[in-house]
Amino acid sequence: MNIGVIGSGAWGTALAIHFDRASHKVVLYSRDEAEASAIRNQGRNILLPDYSLPESIEVVALNDTVREHELLLIVTPTAGLRPVLENWIVPFANKTPVLAACKGFEQNTGLLPHQVLQEMLPQNDCVGLLSGPSFAQEVAQGLPCAVCLASHNVDWAESLSVKLNNNILRLYFNSDPIGVAVGAAVKNVMAIATGVADGIDYGMNARAALLTRGLAEMTRLSVALGGQEKTMMGLSGMGDLILTCTGSLSRNRQVGLKLAEGKSLSQILQELGHVAEGVNTVGEVVRMAEKYKVDMPITRVLFDLLQGKVNVNVAVERLMLREPTVE
């Protein structure tokens, strides 16, 4: 296939490398000419420095006209999805299949990535999500993983999954984009909370409790928004939650670990040098939980911690000293 990957962060670059390796023709769109030129000249992306970019991948600036492709993959932070659509995609993408590989709720609107696609591309019935437990470094390295391709258009999702599936990146088509998107968003919040608990040495019992109760929060919110409960038992629910909460490559988990060290949020984000979506997502998740009357105590406490209303020890104590309730 002829694939355009919009967004040259670590994940976009990793996907470009993977699909090129799988014999697809790939164009990688970078934010501006300076960034595109740096990637071309160095033959690699500083956000993914250990992996060379094959010469067969064309790297161009997004301020050029986006070309026609058989598939567009938008791999930006969730906040960048709408601007990309408004400025470069809408004129022709009503006839081009589009997948968003973003995780989170759009701030202010509360929309999930596929809902932004649907709003901006109302004539396009081939839109969906690419999501699941996957670290960019491992995909670039060629290590195997499995992800979801989720869309309301099941026939298209199944057909595309067949075209893109291989023995490195296994694709499962899914008809529940709401559940997939909620799992992808909220697991980042839970990863920060788990990082905090790990950082203050609360132990593996506490970690297991956080993952389990975190999954319950994810499921309650997903169902309230119209998702299917069974989706939370799959790749973009339990799978992504386990990876992001326990993996050493998780940026969101690193945020929690650094909070436990007493560092400020601004200092942490500067040190990371990457977007940690959970930081931007937690406030929107709290708002959605309040709107739909969903009980999400872990998310609520983490929000207060990131807002500076409580310190790390108080936050964890508030979670562990909650009154007993039915599971």
CA 190 to chain centre: 13
Residue type at position 194:
T
Whole-Å CA distances, 173 to 146, 147, 180, 276, 298: 11, 9, 11, 26, 30
Q: Tell me if residue 258 is catalytic.
A: no
Determine which one of 187, 230, 263, 291 is catalytic: 187
Distance in Å from the first CA to the final CA of the chain: 47
**Cβ 37 vs Cβ 107: under 8 Å:** no
**Cβ 221 vs Cβ 110: under 8 Å:** no
The residues facing 27 across adjacent strands are 4, 58
Burial of 140 (0-12, 13-18, 19+ CB in 10 A): buried
In this structure, the chain runs to a length of 327
How far apart are the C-alpha atoms of 285 and 107, rounded to whole Å?
10
Whole-Å CA distances, 225 to 184, 188, 215, 284, 285: 14, 18, 15, 13, 12
Tokens 């934010």 belong to 31
Catalytic residue positions?
187
